[in-house]
A and B are shown apart, each in its own frame.
Chain A
């Protein structure tokens, strides 16, 4: 019993750390790209507003990186502390991506430090911008390595299991498993979307508060356009991920879509609630759509949950997570499109309608929520496995009886960290107003003086 309890508690604690970390990790992957975009535009057009934008983003970025680093350290150590049996067995096959991730992390840490402290040290501004390339490469490759490890847990390969021991290990085959391409690209694209959406929300917030300077409009245009591009790519890759699931992890897709029986011309269920005996009520049923999603043709056979033993089926509640994620994903595309066509909207007016700004403000939170939902879907969706088909979660957790107090400790820690992070970020931008900073730098009016 006590062992079972520590399994549940270990799951909750790991989940909690990841829920917190994912937010900061996504910002860490996406924001350097946005900073680079702004600084590059600043250099290309000679418009100092963009350079100032890059600077201000970079300043806030450091704060979030700090929390990202410490929560990342937490999950890195917790893997061994909470899942020692998993690490003992899987470490044989999966140590490589984890190991390489630390190198990527090194590069990111080194060049971020250099970037932040060399704004005025290079005569050519382009040299300073180039420092962001290793930062962005570092954060994206670290996302690649860590996601490929997660992909391995979903579609393990590159070893044979003999008497509970992994043999014939092929580290690269394990790393480049079938889940890696879709998973990594979806993670990268959604991180870029989260970051662009967050920055768009900040720009919209300033405009809602009645600030009309060109600086904010430029910022809005850059970030909303970026959000649109990234959100569309995320959606397209999401479609590939669906096809991947149909082929390699049909039980996850089936549980996510409440698809109980294997069939051709399978319909897609949107929304709805699950009654007793797995009756679906109030769902919107789109004929053939699931087959088209799974294989681009209405005649694709989609494997249903009936082909899996009861104790190997993922929880059915992941349907809600999936639908919510997709819905929000659609909003993330729709809102930027409304922004682009704002002049052609009925009730034509100058400037930005208030409701549109509020919708753009919502882009940030929405993108974060979609990100969390997607991760929850993918993680709950491989229950009860920790390594699909090889090791169940229940056999991997620590046998320690002290997980409960540790869970409490980390709940307190994360609340303190997140609250103080938000407070410090808010204070940072309030203390140094954009207008004052422009005057200080002598760029009022958008011209170099």
Chain B
């Protein structure tokens, strides 16, 4: 594999990591808020809180890692995306800031009862952020970032009039709710919290249909937006078929209330196949016809340094993540809530 491909694979993998952990987080925020609204918080809120509290900060880092790595490996993308995305990027920062801060305020700061305002901000941003972030996928298909007289601009009309933009927004929102409900159902099952499990199982089943419909819709919208990309996707259509099989399999397990851990792994595989299939067929472009992984790669010395730093970083990161998961995800006592919560 060339350095270029290694670089983009690393970044794409971290973005996939973000997709999974952030979806759980975003969806959980929404469900948590919804449970307070419908006065079911006593059944859902605790289980969500117990999972989220130790990991929320880590979620943020995945996104930063991707952005920093993208600029490092492909400095040109900073120029195009950076200039064009000033407004949407700033809005995402504001949403992320409100979400992060108010989560901490609610969890660690406020007195025992949940502050409905904090929860509201948390729930609303949980759907707005994925919607906003996903539009970058639509932009990356080309035709929206234009260069005129040496200046980079974002064509807002194109952006909003484009059905593909709306199809990815829709897909992002429903997948967030689906991934999150699937994970939380597994987590509730592990905690032997049956009433929470039943509610979450209902959510997961409810969102599974829209998720697959939105995926198919977005899949065919790419054809209208960027036929070249679509042809590439058809060339590796087995990945998308595999994704669909994983989806059916996961829903089957959940329906039967069995093997919930495997069900969630299948959810990850479902999105993994679709994600890597989409990414692979997008290559060699990072921004269609403007930023190309081969022509706009960083210099070779920096590429080697970045990859070396990455490998070294993984040696610390992976054991730490495993420790985190063992303590909070796979520690039966903690999951059931019998060990003390916070200091």
Query: Within 8 Å of chain A (Cβ to Cβ): is B68?
Result: yes
B residues 133-171 touching A (CB-CB < 8 Å) = 151-153
* B302 with A95: CB separation less than 8 A: yes
CB distance from A63 to the nearest CB of B (A): 6
Interface-forming stretch among A186-194, A268-276, A292-300, A421-429? A421-429
Query: Within 8 Å of chain A (Cβ to Cβ): is B54?
Result: yes
* Chain A residues positioned under 8 Å from B2 (CB to CB): none
* Chain A residues positioned under 8 Å from B69 (CB to CB): 99, 102
Tell whether A88 pairs with B78 under 8 Å between CB atoms, given A96-B306, A107-B316: yes
* A113 with B53: CB separation less than 8 A: yes
CB distance from A66 to the nearest CB of B (A): 3
* Chain A residues positioned under 8 Å from B83 (CB to CB): 84, 398-400
Q: Which of B79, B89, B111 has the most CB of A within 10 A?
A: B79
Query: Within 8 Å of chain A (Cβ to Cβ): is B93?
Result: yes
Out of A98, A103, A134, name the residue touching B72 (CB < 8 Å): A98
* Chain A residues positioned under 8 Å from B323 (CB to CB): 110, 114
Bound CA–CA A111/B68 (angstroms): 22
* A66 with B104: CB separation less than 8 A: yes
Query: Within 8 Å of chain A (Cβ to Cβ): is B309?
Result: yes
Size category of the B interface is: 35 or more
* Chain A residues positioned under 8 Å from B89 (CB to CB): 77, 80-81
CB distance from B87 to the nearest CB of A (A): 5
Bound CA–CA A268/B90 (angstroms): 44
Query: Within 8 Å of chain B (Cβ to Cβ): is A172?
Result: yes
Interface-forming stretch among B57-65, B201-209, B257-265? B57-65
Bound CA–CA A421/B78 (angstroms): 32
B residues 299-332 touching A (CB-CB < 8 Å) = 299, 301-302, 305-306, 309-310, 313, 316-317, 320-321, 323-324, 327-328
* Chain B residues positioned under 8 Å from A89 (CB to CB): 75
Out of B78, B82, B87, B103, name the residue touching A406 (CB < 8 Å): B87
Can you name the residue of chain B whose Cβ is closest to the Cβ of A83? Answer: B82
Tell whether A402 pairs with B87 under 8 Å between CB atoms, given A417-B97, A421-B101: yes
Out of B61, B73, B334, name the residue touching A109 (CB < 8 Å): B61
B residues 79-116 touching A (CB-CB < 8 Å) = 79-87, 89-94, 96-98, 100-105, 108-111
Tell whether A114 pairs with B61 under 8 Å between CB atoms, given A62-B108, A66-B101, A82-B86: no
Can you name the residue of chain A whose Cβ is closest to the Cβ of B108? Answer: A62
Q: How many residues of A contact B (CB 8 A)?
A: 79
Cβ proximity bits A393-409 to B, threshold 8 Å, 1 near / 0 not: 00000111011011001
B residues 242-264 touching A (CB-CB < 8 Å) = none
Out of A74, A80, A85, name the residue touching B71 (CB < 8 Å): A80
* A66 with B54: CB separation less than 8 A: no
Interface-forming stretch among A116-124, A243-251, A352-360? A116-124
DSSP class of A's interface residues: helix, strand, loop or mixed? helix
* A114 with B324: CB separation less than 8 A: yes
Query: Within 8 Å of chain A (Cβ to Cβ): is B175?
Result: no
B residues 202-221 touching A (CB-CB < 8 Å) = none
* Chain B residues positioned under 8 Å from A14 (CB to CB): none
Can you name the residue of chain A whose Cβ is closest to the Cβ of B100? Answer: A70
* A113 with B101: CB separation less than 8 A: no
Can you name the residue of chain A whose Cβ is closest to the Cβ of B90? Answer: A406
Tell whether A409 pairs with B90 under 8 Å between CB atoms, given A69-B100, A95-B298: yes
Query: Within 8 Å of chain B (Cβ to Cβ): is A166?
Result: yes
Bound CA–CA A398/B84 (angstroms): 9
* A88 with B76: CB separation less than 8 A: yes
Query: Within 8 Å of chain B (Cβ to Cβ): is A413?
Result: yes
Out of B53, B105, B327, B343, name the residue touching A58 (CB < 8 Å): B343
CB distance from B144 to the nearest CB of A (A): 15
CB distance from A32 to the nearest CB of B (A): 14
Out of A70, A101, A428, name the residue touching B97 (CB < 8 Å): A70
* A93 with B68: CB separation less than 8 A: no
Can you name the residue of chain A whose Cβ is closest to the Cβ of B103? Answer: A66
Can you name the residue of chain A whose Cβ is closest to the Cβ of B97? Answer: A70
* B342 with A106: CB separation less than 8 A: no
* A403 with B86: CB separation less than 8 A: yes
Out of A102, A119, A134, A167, name the residue touching B340 (CB < 8 Å): A119
Bound CA–CA A100/B305 (angstroms): 10
* B302 with A96: CB separation less than 8 A: yes
Out of B93, B301, B327, name the residue touching A77 (CB < 8 Å): B93
Query: Within 8 Å of chain A (Cβ to Cβ): is B38?
Result: no
Query: Within 8 Å of chain B (Cβ to Cβ): is A262?
Result: no
Tell whether A103 pairs with B313 under 8 Å between CB atoms, given A172-B305, A400-B86: yes
Query: Within 8 Å of chain B (Cβ to Cβ): is A327?
Result: no
Query: Within 8 Å of chain B (Cβ to Cβ): is A264?
Result: no
* Chain B residues positioned under 8 Å from A171 (CB to CB): 301-302, 305
Out of B60, B75, B111, B151, name the residue touching A95 (CB < 8 Å): B75
* A427 with B110: CB separation less than 8 A: yes
Q: Which of A88, A93, A95, A406 has the most CB of B within 10 A?
A: A95
Bound CA–CA A444/B249 (angstroms): 58
Tell whether A63 pairs with B104 under 8 Å between CB atoms, given A107-B320, A114-B323, A117-B342: yes
* B317 with A87: CB separation less than 8 A: no
Query: Within 8 Å of chain A (Cβ to Cβ): is B241?
Result: no
Out of A83, A103, A120, A134, name the residue touching B339 (CB < 8 Å): A120
Query: Within 8 Å of chain B (Cβ to Cβ): is A278?
Result: no
* Chain A residues positioned under 8 Å from B80 (CB to CB): 84
* Chain A residues positioned under 8 Å from B76 (CB to CB): 88
Out of A101, A106, A118, name the residue touching B327 (CB < 8 Å): A118
* Chain A residues positioned under 8 Å from B234 (CB to CB): none
Query: Within 8 Å of chain B (Cβ to Cβ): is A310?
Result: no
Can you name the residue of chain B whose Cβ is closest to the Cβ of A84? Answer: B82
Q: Which of A118, A172, A403 has the most CB of B within 10 A?
A: A118
* Chain A residues positioned under 8 Å from B101 (CB to CB): 66-67, 70, 417, 420-421
* A105 with B105: CB separation less than 8 A: no
Query: Within 8 Å of chain B (Cβ to Cβ): is A445?
Result: no
Cβ proximity bits A69-80 to B, threshold 8 Å, 1 near / 0 not: 111111011111
CB<8 Å pairs between A and B, sample of 17: A63-B109, A66-B105, A70-B96, A76-B68, A79-B71, A81-B82, A89-B75, A91-B72, A95-B68, A95-B73, A96-B305, A99-B69, A105-B64, A106-B313, A121-B327, A121-B339, A413-B98
> Which residues of B pack against A, CB within 8 Å?
53-58, 60-61, 63-65, 67-69, 71-73, 75-76, 78-87, 89-94, 96-98, 100-105, 108-111, 151-153, 298-299, 301-302, 305-306, 309-310, 313, 316-317, 320-321, 323-324, 327-328, 334, 339-343
6 A-B pairs with the lowest CB-CB distances in the bound complex, closest first: A95-B72, A66-B104, A91-B75, A84-B82, A113-B54, A424-B109
Q: A88-B75, A99-B309, A170-B301 are in contact. List 4 more A-B contacts (CB 8 A).
A: A66-B104, A77-B89, A78-B90, A87-B71
